[in-house]
Structure 1
């Protein structure tokens, strides 16, 4: 069995994730393709992930790709997580993951309406509300949820999500309907109301990004294509990492792998998978430093992170498994960083990596400070070290 040790995995990470200076680019969509998708649960993550992998790109370049060129699209997909994806990958994500998610969302919200609303025929109500919201959005071209609620009376229907509970607060179904339409690929999240750190988006018809809508592709082939891209970016890795990243059941993972030509490799006590045409080692780049944001797709790409995280998990992760801002040196995490209220970028190294590493991290901190400019962004999920650095 071919052996792929930690040093080889770290070299792949440096080059394929565009973290080594020699692999960086100002092609925003190209950066997203390198990572398969960019995490977008925290809106700032998308921009800061690009910052870490670019040479001279600025926030406006990311906004241009998202909202003017429309080469990227924001959508819910794996593990019901928000991602920014290259538009050519959207049909794959829709068929492999989002369609199933849409069915689950519809079922969940329907139960809430049945339990806490005064709606005699929930399936008919849900379908009618969806169609009315979609028509209103087509007429407007772009709208906020509040604007669509004003246009469509059904969206203003109020539901008590937890009847009899003291903490329950009646809410309208607007967000539920729009989220479901988004999962179905009929509408998309467009430009936010505020800066690039805002999560209050305006909605647009999917046709505004993809003329003719999202192409319908077979689910089995879509899952295989998504796995192929993940293995190219994150392989070699155990099948358990793939199952975790996709959020699929074990059967769907096995079926997808069966459609691909993959090879098992020894990861030093564990068995990993790699595409069979991707067994050649990458040339090790020069030592490099990077400041990756909270929820960056590199550390969130694997479930088993010991080979690059070491013992630093308790300081850098919250209780729900979300990573905060991390400092990297030559393929491993050596610390964490944060932006203070005055805009200063501060970091703490959790191990002694040497003077060269510390100087390189200082340079990356200066780069990140220039990217932020006057913008202040607190990570959506606070982690122990990030809180300490900003206290």
Structure 2
């Protein structure tokens, strides 16, 4: 117990929880992409390759990652790619879409629509009524087609090709197309979702599809449910972690913590929180483990305060200037290095943090690299956000 009477959860136990709950230890690996997404709550979807790489790293049979993730996303629709926390694209279990929309999407959606209407008005473009007409027509065309690109939708609704000036006179001025801005707003509003890509699993060009129907939930109740799910996967976490991950105001975070009866615990960083029934000690996995996680992996990006699994002096090597993490090498719950893939397909990795990562760690990392090569073949994997160590290793 800590001085306040609260149970202290040290870094070692937090790493044990991470290993088991994030399906990274060998004995904890999952059987399907749905299990992986459910365990993590959300998979980062900004970089399409991240979804497949994150799933494969956590499957008992990584060769299933490509066919099974495609099945879940585009055939069974048990996973959905949509905007979520912090206005970021994620892949969620379909049953969470209503929760995500009500808890985080509504506020962002209202802001994005108002911004689009204002930008068009400032440019002398047609008004909100005209935009509504285009929206209705676009959604009808998308429903008829099933899935379509913006260019395909513009065949049915030519007004999508209309352009307007943006931020005239400023250093970042440019020209926007109605299709790009409107489809983005419709995505945040939960009316459309990303569909099957035009190319391979690494392609960044997506079709759009009408979003699956979902009930409208009370925002406060939805925030409580989302926070409880995330704490179950990632707790303990500090208030700063929760505010960062959700993108909510601190008052919303505190309200949701109270609603779920979260328990305070003591962390090396200060006060943390777990769900009401999650205060019992968690033992580490019986076997040591290694993992090669992709850029933007939800584990590496899971917390704002990361010193308990990532040494501060490694951040300049592994993050870009915007705070996006690149490919990471893990050993027993700590980030110890990074990896990349050369043009000829060779997977190259480097252990930077040597404390406790000796020959056993190197052998385990090499096995994970071979595991990755075994299912990914010769596919070129270039992270969307390049980081210093990844660039060096991939050269």
Q: TM-score, normalised to structure 1's length? A: 0.96
Q: Which residue of 129, 135, 138 maps to 1:133?
A: 138
Structure 1 residue 191 and structure 2 residue 196: aligned? Answer: yes
8 A Cα contact 1:115 1:163, kept in partner: no
Q: How many Å separate the matches in 2 of 1:10 and 1:173?
A: 46
SS of the residue 2:309 aligns to: helix
Report the alpha carbon displacement of residue 269 of structure 1 after superposing the two structures with TM. Answer: 4.6
Q: Which residue of 35, 41, 64 maps to 2:40?
A: 35
Q: How many Å separate the matches in 2 of 1:318 and 1:128?
A: 41
Structure 1 residue 385 and structure 2 residue 389: aligned? Answer: yes
Structure 2 partner of 1:356: 360
8 A Cα contact 2:147 2:207, kept in partner: yes
SS of the residue 1:31 aligns to: helix
8 A Cα contact 2:98 2:216, kept in partner: yes
Report the alpha carbon displacement of residue 189 of structure 1 after superposing the two structures with TM. Answer: 1.1
Q: Which moved further from structure 2: 134-143 or 30-39? A: 134-143
Structure 1 residue 365 and structure 2 residue 372: aligned? Answer: no
Q: Could you give the per-residue CA deviations for residues 222-245 of structure 1, whole angstroms, max 9, x where no partner exists?
A: 000000011001101111100000
8 A Cα contact 2:197 2:204, kept in partner: yes
Report the alpha carbon displacement of residue 369 of structure 1 after superposing the two structures with TM. Answer: 1.3
Cα root mean square deviation, aligned: 1.3
Q: How many Å separate the matches in 1 of 2:371 and 2:351?
A: 18
8 A Cα contact 1:77 1:101, kept in partner: no
Q: Could you give the per-residue CA deviations for residues 65-121 of structure 1, whole angstroms, max 9, x where no partner exists?
A: 1111110000011011110000000000010011212111112212221122432xx
How many residues were matched structurally? 384
SS of the residue 1:190 aligns to: strand
Report the alpha carbon displacement of residue 166 of structure 1 after superposing the two structures with TM. Answer: 7.6
Structure 1 residue 301 and structure 2 residue 305: aligned? Answer: no
Report the alpha carbon displacement of residue 163 of structure 1 after superposing the two structures with TM. Answer: 2.4
Judged with a 3 Å threshold, the aligned counterparts in structure 2 of structure 1 residues 367 and 181 are, in CA distance, closer, same or farther, namely same
Where in structure 2 are the equivalents of 1:278-357 lying within 5 Å?
Answer: 278-285=278-285, 286-310=287-311, 311-352=313-354, 353-357=357-361
Structure 1 residue 63 and structure 2 residue 65: aligned? Answer: no
Q: How many Å separate the matches in 2 of 1:36 and 1:165?
A: 39
Q: Could you give the per-residue CA deviations for residues 12-66 of structure 1, whole angstroms, max 9, x where no partner exists?
A: 0000000000000121111001000000110000000001101212311111111
Q: TM-score, normalised to structure 2's length? A: 0.95
> Structure 2: any 5+ residue segments left out of the alignment?
1-5
8 A Cα contact 1:91 1:215, kept in partner: yes
8 A Cα contact 2:52 2:66, kept in partner: yes
